Amino acid sequence: MRHLKLLPVTAAAAILLAGCVHVPTDTSHAAGPDFAKARLNPSIALPDGAWPAEQWWQVYQDPQLNTLIQRALQDSPNLAVAQARVTSAQAAVTSQRADEGARLDLNTGANRQRYSSNGFFPPPLGGAYYNDFSVQARASYDFDWWGRHRSLIAASLGEANASQAEAAQARQTLAANVAQSYFRLQMLWARQDNVNALLAVQRGLVRDREARMAHGLVNQDAVQSARLDLGTLTEQASRYDTQAAREREALRALIGGDADALADLARFQPRPADNALPHDLGMELLARRPDLQAARWRVEAQLGRIAASQAAFYPDINLMAGIGLDAVSLGKLLRYPSRTPIAGGTLTLPIFDAGRLKAQLGAARAGRDELLAEYNQAVLDAVRDVAVQGATLQGLGREQEAHAAATDASRKLADNAQARLTRGLADRADVLLAQQNMLRQRDTDLVLIDASLQAQVLLAEALGGGYHADAGARTAATAETNTNTNRPQ
């Protein structure tokens, strides 16, 4: 009862001392990103379009690609690691919440002890063995006057949300990597088919020049030159075969498949989708990029740690009460005289601990500034990624328009040479050379298609790959952290 009577006095003293506590002023000028900078250069003039869909790869209408990405998202060990981190972060939130508010413990004990014959208790107590049995229920309550536990919960929630965003980023990165690898493999196969067609034409040229040399129409150098070109094309075909085998194994590893996982993979000529960009990036880019969301939640978590460090400067008051039973024999344990009630409270005052507390708070604020700087840089990098891929696609579009004219001209030349051969106005070599030029233009066309596909995948990834953060994800606990601390927008 005396403890309970002293509680008002203790509380008043704590409030008085709290008014004298000095929390160091935050002199940092760190701030969130300036989204006015999240704009593309006006020279990047792709058609206006929507943000990527959640399954953006379906725009290519390739069932094989859809199956490969779905399989990778189901079986990838990297995604399993990311999900395990989410589970661990959520467990940390549960652990922090368990330390808040009321707590009830039940303790039991039984022991047998011999008292020393030369100790405090003389014989017959000394030198004898005694039993001790106890049962105690103890309740305590942490009022969290200054919000320390709420701030730590907010920090844990921030880390949990960041881990979820990072898991989403891992999924988007994996899908993009599978798409890029698949497109590279298909384009290598297409170029391999094209170079095989070039080999057939070149073999015809070699035979034609050998026949001409036999009739004295060309010299040995012309034949050797044709054979040299044949050897170069054979080497190129071998190189494509090696690159395709390597890319196939890389794709198999991405989907987590066994040795026969891609045995039935068929050749398919992918075509680029229509190029487009959202009209405006701005703050929408933040919600669309999981890596930016993760960086933002890391800052939020650090704000919670700062608020907890500030709360440590103030007195901490906790109440405790317990009721138990204690007896030297089990038969007397449940009797009324064996009761052992206890009630009290604790008051923690950081009187001579200012140096350590200031150091902890300074470290927390420095960590916030570091995370804010990283967050700001991540926003700039995200805008740069979009701009680079947008400019790349715009440039490739111009190249493809210019190359289309060259391809059409080479096709017409090949048709004209065949027509002249039919009328007897040209020889076989003219037709073969025209066909060879047309096939070389076709190889350049395949290179441009490959580059466009890769840039489109990178652009989809740069735009967030269909991710969209929940606008209501900000938790109430996070909102309760120190409002004077600089926050990201």
With a cut of 90, say whether residue 209 has pLDDT above it: no
The answer to whether residue 189 is domain-embedded is yes
With a cut of 90, say whether residue 195 has pLDDT above it: yes
Residues 6 or more apart in contact with residue 47 via CB below 8 angstroms: 274, 275, 276, 277
The answer to whether residue 12 is domain-embedded is no
Rounded to 5°, the CA angle 192-194-198 comes to: 115
Token pair for residue 344? Answer: 């009290």
* pLDDT value, residue 476: 35
Q: Which of 282-286, 362-366, 435-439 has the lowest mean pLDDT?
A: 282-286
Token pair for residue 50? Answer: 């929507």
Residue 139, helix vs strand vs coil: strand
The answer to whether residue 134 is domain-embedded is no
The CATH number covering residue 381 comes to: 1.20.1600.10
* pLDDT value, residue 37: 66
The answer to whether residue 4 is domain-embedded is no
Mean pLDDT of 53-59: 93
Rounded to 5°, the CA angle 394-402-411 comes to: 140
With a cut of 90, say whether residue 412 has pLDDT above it: no
With a cut of 50, say whether residue 419 has pLDDT above it: yes
From the list 478, 482, 147, the residue with the least C-alpha distance to 301 is: 478
Residues 6 or more apart in contact with residue 211 via CB below 8 angstroms: none
pLDDT band per the 50, 70, 90 thresholds, residue 9: low
Domain range holding 443? 25-100+149-315+354-479
- pLDDT, one tens digit per residue, over 421-463 is 778 776 787 888 888 899 999 999 999 999 999 999 999 999 9
Contact 165, 290 (CB under 8 A): yes
* pLDDT value, residue 13: 58
- Report the distance separating Cα 311 and Cα 23, nearest Å: 9
* pLDDT value, residue 289: 92
pLDDT band per the 50, 70, 90 thresholds, residue 193: very high
- The mean pLDDT of the chain is 83
Contact 432, 380 (CB under 8 A): no
* pLDDT value, residue 66: 95
- Report the distance separating Cα 9 and Cα 12, nearest Å: 5
Higher-pLDDT residue of 289 and 211 is 289
- Report the distance separating Cα 20 and Cα 296, nearest Å: 35
With a cut of 90, say whether residue 169 has pLDDT above it: yes
* pLDDT value, residue 4: 47
The answer to whether residue 142 is domain-embedded is no
* pLDDT value, residue 482: 41
pLDDT band per the 50, 70, 90 thresholds, residue 475: very low
Please indicate, yes or no, whether the overall pTM of this predicted structure exceeds 0.75: yes
Structural domains counted in the chain: 1
Q: Which of 148-157, 213-222, 260-269 has the lowest mean pLDDT?
A: 213-222
pLDDT band per the 50, 70, 90 thresholds, residue 3: very low
pLDDT band per the 50, 70, 90 thresholds, residue 386: very high
pLDDT band per the 50, 70, 90 thresholds, residue 267: very high
- pLDDT, one tens digit per residue, over 290-329 is 999 999 999 999 999 999 888 888 887 777 787 877 777 7
Mean pLDDT of 1-8: 50
Mean pLDDT of 159-183: 94
Q: Which of 197-201, 273-277, 471-475 has the lowest mean pLDDT?
A: 471-475
Residues 6 or more apart in contact with residue 221 via CB below 8 angstroms: none
* pLDDT value, residue 395: 94
Token pair for residue 168? Answer: 């989403």
* pLDDT value, residue 141: 76
Number of H helices, E strands in the chain: 10, 4
Secondary structure string (H, E, C) spanning 1-20: CHHHHHHHHHHHHHHHHHCC
- Give the position of tokens 């395990």: 84
List the beta bridge partners of residue 129: 114
The answer to whether residue 322 is domain-embedded is no
Token pair for residue 402? Answer: 């210019």
Host H or E run for residue 320 = strand 316-327
Q: At what angle do helices 63-75 and 148-214 cross, to 10 degrees?
A: 140
Cβ count near 2 (within 10 Å): 7
Of all residues in the chain, the percent with pLDDT exceeding 90 is: 38
pLDDT band per the 50, 70, 90 thresholds, residue 57: very high
With a cut of 90, say whether residue 175 has pLDDT above it: yes
Residues 6 or more apart in contact with residue 15 via CB below 8 angstroms: none
Contact 164, 84 (CB under 8 A): no
Mean pLDDT of 60-74: 94
Widest distance between CA atoms in the chain: 135
Residue 340, helix vs strand vs coil: coil
From the list 189, 186, 182, 191, the residue with the least C-alpha distance to 250 is: 182
List the beta bridge partners of residue 102: 141
From the list 32, 62, 110, 463, the residue with the least C-alpha distance to 288 is: 463
Residue type, 91: A
pLDDT band per the 50, 70, 90 thresholds, residue 270: very high
With a cut of 50, say whether residue 164 has pLDDT above it: yes
From the list 297, 338, 346, the residue with the least C-alpha distance to 321 is: 346
With a cut of 50, say whether residue 477 has pLDDT above it: no
Residue 154 phi, psi dihedral angles, 5° rounding: -60, -40
Secondary structure string (H, E, C) spanning 80-134: HHHHHHHHHHHHHHHHHHHCCEEEEEEEEEEEEEECCCCCCCCCCCCCCEEEEEE
The answer to whether residue 128 is domain-embedded is no
Mean pLDDT of 361-381: 91
Contact 436, 198 (CB under 8 A): yes
From the list 23, 24, 32, the residue with the least C-alpha distance to 369 is: 32
Q: What is the DSSP letter of 424?
A: T
With a cut of 90, say whether residue 199 has pLDDT above it: yes
Q: Do you find a cis peptide bond into 77, omega within 30 degrees of 0?
A: no
* pLDDT value, residue 200: 92
With a cut of 90, say whether residue 464 has pLDDT above it: yes
The answer to whether residue 183 is domain-embedded is yes
Q: Which of 87-91, 131-135, 299-303, 477-481 has the lowest mean pLDDT?
A: 477-481
Contact 296, 488 (CB under 8 A): yes
Host H or E run for residue 141 = strand 129-142
Count how many Cα atoms sit within 13 Å of the Cα of residue 340 in the half-sphere of its side chain: 14
Higher-pLDDT residue of 414 and 451 is 451
- Report the distance separating Cα 474 and Cα 69, nearest Å: 31
